[in-house]
Structure formats: structure tokens, C-alpha cells
């Protein structure tokens, strides 16, 4: 549904009112639809994107809100793509080669880690101090001659606020999340609930929010149905033994 269809006819039906001049003004309708879209994204993380940051030699800190203007929060582990002068590519990624560490753990296990010489990063951390999301690499990267490094960051994007009548919900940058079209009606229920509260119709508010919650539940049910049915162990004990693994001499 377009923005016009949502704040117009969809809300007319749910509110049983076509009023746009008194209680259910056009401005309130539009604001309620945008609030609904933001709420749905925060509850479902449905606008997942992967952004690329061109890294700088010996620079280990990257402010994600600056790199991605639509950044809401991290959604998975970052990885590093290294391309050498011959266009050969290698990746730093995964729990073993490039794990996450928190700052307290680094302070405890690696005193002086902030002053390590630049090299190949072996872990990353997320620093949310002062409201900024800083993605840090330990140690800071050191490029070989002719190399280019890119940081691939999966994150949840803030959808672009709806303003024009033809705008579609859940648009991030130039990407329209068409898989979310079946969930557009959920926005009308959330918005109707907010507006029902404005006229103190709390039974109507409860009904609309329950209908909205059904769309959220449906999202998670579909996501679960599409998930790969594999249980992953937290640690690969066999791989951790490495060169120290003892083979059975009688086998």
C-alpha cells in the first residue's frame, strides 16, 4: 500500500471514520503511520542491510552512524574483505578468526590493547559510549602495498519517513522491501490504535493493537519457517585442538 492508501482509506475503515479535519486530522494520520512503521522495524528487525566501509590504514575505529545515515543497530558480526594488488581476495570473518570481544574482556585479557602495533585485526568490539556506535578493530589494520580493505557491516536500517502520497513503507535508501508488502496492513492497525486512544476509545485501542501484534507474530513465524534447521555448537572443540590433536597410533 502507498502512504496515501494507508493514512487514507485503510484508516477510514479501521476507525469507521473519514474525518481528516477534527480529531483524525491528516497530519495526525500521517504521523501515526510513520510511528507504526518505526515500531514494526524496531520489533522485528525486518530492514536488515549490509553496508561497506572503505577502511583506512592503521585506523581501527569506525563510527557507524556517520558511515551509514540510516543506521539503527548492528545485526550480526562484521567481516573484513582484503583485496591485494593482484585482485586476489581474502576474508577475515567468523567466530574463530574474527570474534567479538567486549571492552571489559579486552581490558582484562589484553592490558594495553589500545596501544597495540597495527597488524591484522583478530577481533572486534562495539562501543556504545555517549550514544555513539563505534565499531573497533583490535589491533588496527596494517595494509600491505597495493591492498584495499573493506569492512562489511550487517545492520538494521531506519526506514525513510513517508512523506509523499506515493511513498511505500519500509524503504531504506533506494531499496524497497517488497517482501514486507503483506505486512503493510499491520501499520494501519497500529496507527488506528494510536488514534483510538486519542478519542479515549480504549477498547478500540486494545483491539487494534492486538491485530497489529498478530502481524508481528506472523513475521517471526515466517522467519522461523524459513530458518535452516541446524543446531550449531558454540565451540568447535575438534578444530581448537589443531596441531596438538593426538592421533590413535593403532588406527
Distance CA 137, CA 123 (A): 6
Instruction: Work out the number of other CB atoms within 10 angstroms of the CB of residue 195.
Output: 25
Question: Is the CB of residue 193 less than 8 Å from the CB of residue 212?
Answer: yes
Q: What is the mean pLDDT of each run of 10 residues along the chain (251 residues)?
A: 96 93 92 97 93 95 94 94 95 94 94 94 93 93 95 95 95 83 96 93 96 96 73 54 45 40
Instruction: Work out the number of other CB atoms within 10 angstroms of the CB of residue 59.
Output: 12
pLDDT in tens, 109-149: 999 999 999 999 999 999 998 888 999 999 999 999 999 99
Distance CA 48, CA 39 (A): 15
Geometric angle at alpha carbon 45, from 133 and 157, rounded to 5°: 50
- Supply the pLDDT for residue 132: 87
Distance CA 143, CA 230 (A): 37
Distance CA 64, CA 137 (A): 13
pLDDT in tens, 229-246: 555 555 555 455 544 444
Distance CA 138, CA 59 (A): 10
Residue with cell 493493537: 209
Geometric angle at alpha carbon 67, from 65 and 73, rounded to 5°: 40
- Reading the block at residue 237, the C-alpha cell is 572443540
Amino acid at each position: 500500500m502507498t502512504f496515501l492508501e494507508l493514512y487514507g482509506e485503510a484508516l477510514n475503515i479501521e476507525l469507521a471514520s473519514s474525518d481528516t479535519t477534527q480529531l483524525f486530522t491528516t497530519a495526525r494520520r500521517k504521523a501515526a503511520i510513520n510511528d507504526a512503521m518505526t515500531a514494526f522495524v524496531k520489533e522485528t528487525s525486518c530492514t536488515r542491510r549490509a553496508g561497506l566501509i572503505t577502511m583506512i590504514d592503521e585506523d581501527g575505529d569506525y563510527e557507524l552512524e556517520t558511515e551509514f545515515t540510516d543506521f539503527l543497530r548492528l545485526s550480526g558480526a562484521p567481516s573484513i574483505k582484503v583485496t591485494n594488488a593482484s585482485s586476489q581476495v581474502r576474508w577475515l570473518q567468523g567466530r574463530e578468526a574474527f570474534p567479538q570481544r567486549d571492552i571489559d574482556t579486552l581490558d582484562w585479557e589484553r592490558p594495553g590493547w589500545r596501544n597495540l602495533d597495527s597488524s591484522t585485526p583478530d577481533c572486534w568490539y562495539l562501543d556504545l559510549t555517549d550514544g555513539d556506535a563505534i565499531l573497533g578493530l583490535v589491533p588496527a589494520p596494517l595494509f600491505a602495498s597495493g591492498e584495499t580493505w573493506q569492512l562489511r557491516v550487517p545492520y538494521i536500517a531506519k526506514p525513510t519517513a513517508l512523506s509523499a502520497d506515493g511513498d511505500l513503507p519500509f524503504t531504506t535508501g533506494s531499496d524497497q522491501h517488497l517482501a514486507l508488502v503483506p505486512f503493510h496492513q499491520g501499520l494501519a492497525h497500529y496507527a488506528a490504535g494510536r488514534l483510538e486512544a486519542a478519542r479515549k476509545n480504549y477498547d478500540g485501542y486494545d483491539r487494534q493493537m492486538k491485530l497489529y501484534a498478530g502481524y508481528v507474530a506472523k513475521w517471526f513465524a515466517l522467519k522461523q519457517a524459513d530458518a535452516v534447521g541446524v543446531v550449531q555448537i558454540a565451540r568447535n572443540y575438534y578444530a581448537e585442538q589443531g596441531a596438538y590433536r593426538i592421533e590413535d597410533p593403532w588406527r
